Amino acid sequence: MEQLDMFDVIDEEPQTEKEPRFSLNQQVEVNTPKKQSTDIEDYYYLSEYAGKKGVIVKVNSGEKTSYTVDFGNKEGLFYGDDLKGSFE
């Protein structure tokens, strides 16, 4: 195995979603974060929204698709893994 220096580039493609999991105007609910498998900053951010239901108002493309969700009185930004789909 060869040691890399700071000028070497590792050829790995960023992980991207082929298609967004959710669509514009879809109703979603924020999942409860798992403390042991979530970064501490993400955990506290997600905890504020856990169990809340809202509507996707923007699908943000990039290396990883994210979603802007409107909860009526404020908006939050989430990845697909943080949300679960339509509910009754």
Q: Is residue 44 situated within a structural domain?
A: yes
Asked if residue 12 belongs to a domain, the reply is no
Measured at the CA of 68, the angle between CA 87 and CA 35, to 5 degrees, comes to 75
The CA-CA-CA angle for residues 14, 69, 22, to 5°, reads 55
Give per-residue pLDDT as tens, 26-83: 999 999 998 777 788 989 999 999 999 999 999 999 889 999 999 999 999 999 999 9
Q: What is the DSSP letter of 31?
A: P
Residue 21 forms part of a structural domain: no
* 8 within a domain of the structure (yes/no): no
Report yes or no on 66 lying in a domain: yes
Number of domains in the chain: 1
**pTM for this one?**
0.75
* Residue 67 located in a structural domain: yes
Could you list the residue range(s) of the whole structural domain that residue 56 is in? 27-82
